[in-house]
Chain A
C-alpha cells in the first residue's frame, strides 16, 4: 500500500522538541557546537523518529518503540555514583585504565596515562577544544536520526586523544545506568587515534532490569594512517531499557580496525556501525554475537563504505533467538566507483531456538567498481537435529547438548576479539546466558 499518510507527532517527538528548546541555551558549547546541534536537531524535526517506512529502520520501528521521552538523567554525585557503580559487576579482571560513566555522565577518568589525553566532553565543548571541530565528521552517518539526536543533546562523555607515544594503549569505557525512575541519557565519546598509534578499547554498558530507561550513546573513532584499533562492546543493559548506540569509524591508510559487539541486554537494542575508509589498504574485521530471549528485540545495522581502493573487510554476525524475541541484521557494503581491488565479505547467521522467534536479515551490497570481490551470505535455521542426536546419543542431556551447539555457534565471531582475557570474559557472559535457558 502506498496510501497517503499524514504524520502526527508522537508524545515522545513533541517532548523532545520542547526539551530541546529548553535545554539548548544551557548545553555546553559555543557557536560552532551550537550550529552542529541545531543542524542535527533540524534533521529530527524534519523527519521525526525513524519508523518502518524508512528503509534503514524497516525492522526496528523506533517511533513505535519509543512511546515517551523520559527526563534527562542528572549526574549522580559522590556516594550516589559510587553506589550505582558498585551495583554492576565488572566484566572481568581486565587490569585496564577505566573511564566510568554513571547514567551517561563521566564520573571518573585516569589522568596520568602517558600519551593519552582525556578531556570530559562538557569541558571540551565549553572550552572549544580543537578536536571538537572534527566531531560528527563522517559523511555516511549524517542522515541518521538516532545519531543526530545524540549530537543535539550531547552534554557529557569524553574526548580521548591517543598519541603514538602511548604505545599499546588500553582503555575501558564502563557505562553503568540505574535510578529510581525512568530517565534518558545520551553520552558521546570522540576518540582520535594518531598515525601509527595503537588502542585497545573495551566498552561495557550495564543497567538494572525492570526499569524503562533510554540510552542513545555514540562513539566516534577517527584512526590515523597505520593505526591499530581494536574495540569490544558489551550490551548488558537492563531488560527494560531502550538502547540505541552508534559507532562511527573513519579509517586512514593502512589501518587495522576490529570491532566486536556482544548483545544480550535491553528490551529494544539497536547498534549501528558506520565505517568509512578514507585511506587505502585498511583492514577491517567486524563481528557480533547477539543472544535474545523473552520479547527482546535487537538490531545490528552496519554500513561499510569502501570509498578508496585496496581495503579489505570481513563481517561475521551471529544471532541466537529464543522465546518470542526478534533479531535483526542489516548490513550494507558500498564499493564506490574507482575503489578497485576492494574485498568485502559479510556473513550473518541466525539460530532460532523456539517456535515464536523471528529473524530478519538484510545483507546488502552496493557496488560501483568492476574489479572487486564482494560476497555476502545469510542463513537462518534451527539447531541441526542430526548433530543434536549425535551428542545426545553420547549421553548428553538435551539442554546440555543444545548449549554446547549454541556455544560453538557463537564461538566463531568471538575469535574477532584480540585479547584473551576479554574473550574469556565474553565467553563467560555467553555461558551464563545459556545456563539461564529454561
Chain B
C-alpha cells in the first residue's frame, strides 16, 4: 500500500528545494593549485607541518591510488569525476593558528552561528544544568576551532584536529592510523589517505567515561574543492565516548567531492557511539549540483566485550556511498547500526553496513530504514558474515524501505555469509517479528502495533538524537517518527 499522508508531508518538508544550509560564506581563502599530483600531496603535508613519516605515508598511498580503479558495483550513476579538476586544499586566509576564538575570522563564526553550532564554551550556571558538547569545527580543509579542550584534557581525553594529533601525539597516530581502514582498502579510502586535510582525533584513556559529548561539524564552503577528512577515535580499555558528526555545504550547480575515512578502535570493555547527521547539499530537483559523498567508515571492536554503535540520519548528498562497518574481533564484542536514509529529488543513496563476526559470542544488530521520494534511488546494501571461529555469533537485521510516488526506487541488497554452524543470523524485512515479547508488552499497554514498532525500533535512536547539538536535531527527531506504514522489505 502507498505511504500515509503524514509521511508524505514530512518527507516533502525536507525536499531538496527546501535545503536551508545552502548559503555561502564570502572569505578569502588560501588554496593549493588545482589538480592532484605528488607535489600537491607534499604541499598538503607541508601546510599541515607534518613529520617526514606522515609525508611518506601519504605519498605511498598516492602511488597506490594511481594503480586503482573507481569501484562500479554500487547502485549509483554519476558522470566521470575529473580528479584533476578540483582543489585538494582550501583554508580561510586569516587562520594562521588561531589561539582563541577571537582570532577566528568573524565571517566563519557567523557561519557557525547560522548553522546553530555552539563554538563558545557555555559556562555552567549555578543551579542550571545544561547539556554541553565539545565541538571541533572543520571548515573546508582546516579545523577552525575545538572547544572544551582544556576541560577534556583534565579527564585525560585528547580531542583535537588530526593534524595537531600527528604533531603532538605521533605514537598514538602511528599505532592506530590505517589499522582499521588500510591504506589500500578501496579507491576512495586510498585517495583520502593521500590527501586528507583535517578531521578529528579522539583518545579516551583506560577507564574514563568521556565527560561530555564530542562532536565535529564539517562544512564545505569553497567552490570547486573536495573535502577529505580523516577521523580517528580510540577508546582504550573500559572507556566510553559518544561522538556526533554533522555536515552541510553551500548550494551550487557543480558537484563537489567528499571522501572521508573514519576509523574507530574499541579496546577491551570500551564503547564508542558514533552518530552522524549527514546533510550535505543534495543538488536541486533536476539533479544539478550536490555533493558526491564517498565515505569509508569502519569500527574495530578489537578488545573483548567492546561495543561500537553507528547511528546515521542521511538526508543530504547527491550521491551517498557509505557503509559504516564493525569488525567484531574481540570475544563477546557487539556492533550496532541504526540508519535512516531519506532521499528526495534525484538523490542516489547506496548505503548500509558490514558486520564481520570474527570473535566468539559476538553480536550485531542492524536496523535500517530507507525512504525514497521524488525521482531518487535508495539502496540498502549490507553484509553480515561469520568466520570459522565466530562461534555463537548472532545477528539480527531488519531493513524496511518506503517509496513515496512511482518515480523513485527502493532496493535492498543483503549479503549473509555464514561459515560457522553455531552462528545464528536472521534477516527480517517485516516489522511484526521484531520481538514478540516487546510487541506484546507495548500492545498490552494500549499502543497500536505501529506505535509499538516505532517505539521499539526508534527508542534508542531518539536517545542519541536528543543529544545532537545542531539546530536540525529537531528535524532529525521528526524524521525518526516518520511512519513507515506501507513499507516494503
A370-387 to B contact mask, C-beta < 8 Å, 1/0 = 111111111111100000
Q: Indicate which residue in A370, A373, A382 contacts B3 across the interface (CB closer than 8 Å).
A: A370
CA distance A370 to B4 in the complex (A): 11
B3 touches A358 (CB 8 A): no
Chain B residue at smallest Cβ distance from A341? B1
Of B186, B419, B424, the residue contacting A381 (CB under 8 A) is B424
The answer on a CB contact under 8 Å between A366 and B411 is yes
Question: Are B406 and A338 touching (Cβ within 8 A)?
Answer: yes
What residue of chain A has the Cβ atom nearest to residue B401's Cβ?
A367
List residues of chain B with CB within 8 A of the CB of A1.
68, 184, 186
Question: Are A368 and B416 in touch, CB under 8 angstroms?
Answer: no
**Other-chain contact of A3, B69, B420, B421, B426 (Cβ < 8 Å):** B69
Number of interface residues of B (CB under 8 A): 45
Determine how close the nearest CB of chain A comes to the CB of B356; give it in whole angstroms.
Answer: 14
The answer to whether A363 and B488 touch across the interface, beta carbons within 8 angstroms, is no
Interface pair A370/B413, CB less than 8 Å apart: no
Which residue on chain A has the smallest CB distance to residue B188? A2
Q: Does B2 contact A (CB under 8 A)?
A: yes
Would B423 and A381 count as touching, CB distance under 8 A?
A: yes
B421 and A382 contacting across the interface, CB-CB below 8 Å: yes
Give the chain A neighbours of B417 by CB distance below 8 A: 358-361
B415 touches A362 (CB 8 A): yes
> For the complex, is A436 an interface residue (Cβ under 8 Å from B)?
no
Looking at the complex, which one of B68, B403, B405 makes contact with A2 (CB distance below 8 Å)?
A: B68
Q: Tell me if B162 counts as interface (CB < 8 A to partner A).
A: no
Segment touching B, from A98-106, A278-286, A349-357: A349-357
Enumerate chain A residues within 8 angstroms of B157, measured Cβ to Cβ. none
Contact B427 A363 (CB under 8 A): yes
In residues 314-370 of chain A, which contact B (Cβ within 8 Å)?
A: 337-338, 340, 350, 352-370
Map CB proximity to A onto B425-465 as digits: 1 under 8 Å, 0 otherwise: 11111100000000000000000000000000000000000
Task: From B404, B406, B407, B414, give the contact of A378 (CB < 8 A).
Answer: B414
User: A2–B416 contact, CB under 8 A?
Assistant: no
CB-contacts of A361-415 with B (<8 A): 361-382
CB distance from B389 to the nearest CB of A (A): 10
Contacts of A357 in B (CB 8 A): 419, 421
Instruction: Report A-chain residues with C-beta under 8 Å of the C-beta of B187.
Output: 2
One digit per residue, 1 when the CB lies within 8 angstroms of any chain B CB and 0 when it does not, for chain A 246-289 equals: 00000000000000000000000000000000000000000000
Task: Judge whether A361 and B68 touch: CB under 8 Å.
Answer: no
* A355 cross-chain contacts in B, Cβ below 8 A: 388, 420-421
Number of A residues, CB within 8 Å of B: 40
Contact B489 A365 (CB under 8 A): yes
Residue of B nearest to A379 (CB): B426
Closest A residue, CB atoms, query B3: A370
Question: CB of B330 within 8 A of chain A?
Answer: no
Q: Which residue of B lies closest to A329 (CB)?
A: B416
Report the nearest B residue to A354, measured CB to CB. B421
Q: What are the residues of chain B within 8 A of A354 when measuring CB–CB?
A: 421
Closest-CB distance, B145 to chain A (whole angstroms): 37
Does chain A have a CB within 8 A of B73?
A: yes
Query: Does any Cβ of A come within 8 Å of B70's Cβ?
Result: yes
Residue of B nearest to A335 (CB): B488
A-facing residues in B291-332 (Cβ within 8 Å): none
Please state if A363 and B425 are interface contacts (CB–CB under 8 Å). no
Whole-angstrom distance between the Cβ of A126 and the nearest chain B Cβ: 43
A367–B429 Cα distance when bound, in Å, is 14
Nearest chain A CB to B414 CB, angstrom units: 6
Tell me the smallest distance from the CB of B423 to a CB of chain A, in Å.
7
Please state if B425 and A3 are interface contacts (CB–CB under 8 Å): no
Cβ–Cβ < 8 Å partners of A362 in chain B: 413-416
B423-A377 in contact (CB<8A): no
Give the complex CA separation of A373 and B411 in angstroms. 13
Flag whether B410 is at the interface (Cβ < 8 A): yes
Q: Is A365 in contact with B70, judged by CB distance below 8 angstroms?
A: no
**Contact A369 to B415, CB < 8 A, known contacts A374-B488, A378-B425, A380-B425:** no
A55 interface contact, C-beta 8 A: yes
Name the contact of A359 in the complex, choosing from B68, B418, B426, B429 (C-beta under 8 A).
B418
CB atoms of A367 and B425 under 8 A apart: no
Interface residue from B73, B184, B388, B429 paired with A376 (Cβ < 8 Å): B429
Whether B406 contacts A370 by the Cβ 8 Å rule is yes
Chain A residues whose CB sits within 8 angstroms of the CB of B184 once the complex forms: 1
Asked if B71 is at the interface (CB within 8 A of a chain A CB), the reply is yes
CB neighbours of A352 from chain B (8 A): 418, 420-421
Query: Is B37 interfacial (CB 8 A cutoff)?
Result: no
Q: Is A4 an interface residue (CB 8 A)?
A: yes
With contacts A376-B429, A380-B424, A381-B423 taken as known, whether A368 is within 8 angstroms of B408 at the C-beta atoms is yes
Instruction: Decide if B427 touches A2 in the complex (CB within 8 Å).
Output: no
Choice from A363, A370, A374 contacting B2 with Cβ under 8 Å? A370
Q: Which residues of B contact A356 (CB under 8 A)?
A: 388
Q: Min CB distance, B120 to chain A, in Å?
A: 44
Indicate if the CB atoms of A377 and B421 lie closer than 8 Å: no
For residue B412, which residues in chain A have a CB less than 8 angstroms away from its CB?
364-365, 376
CB-CB under 8 A from B489, the residues of chain A are: 365, 374-377
| B422 close to A (CB within 8 Å) | yes
**Which of chain B's residues has its CB closest to A53's CB?**
B73
Q: Complex Cα distance A366/B377, Å?
A: 10
Besides A361-B414, A369-B406, A381-B423, 20 new A-B residue pairs in contact (Cβ under 8 A), listed by A number:
A1-B68, A3-B69, A4-B67, A4-B68, A338-B406, A340-B406, A355-B420, A361-B416, A361-B427, A362-B416, A365-B489, A367-B409, A367-B411, A368-B406, A375-B430, A377-B427, A377-B430, A380-B418, A382-B421, A382-B424
Question: Which of B's residues lie within 8 Å of A, judged by CB?
Answer: 1-3, 67-71, 73, 184, 186-187, 388, 401, 403-430, 486, 488-489
15 contacts between A and B (CB under 8 A): A3-B68, A355-B421, A357-B419, A362-B416, A363-B414, A365-B429, A365-B489, A366-B409, A367-B401, A367-B409, A368-B406, A370-B405, A379-B424, A380-B416, A382-B422
The 7 closest A-B pairs by CB, nearest first: A352-B421, A370-B403, A361-B416, A375-B489, A381-B424, A378-B427, A382-B421
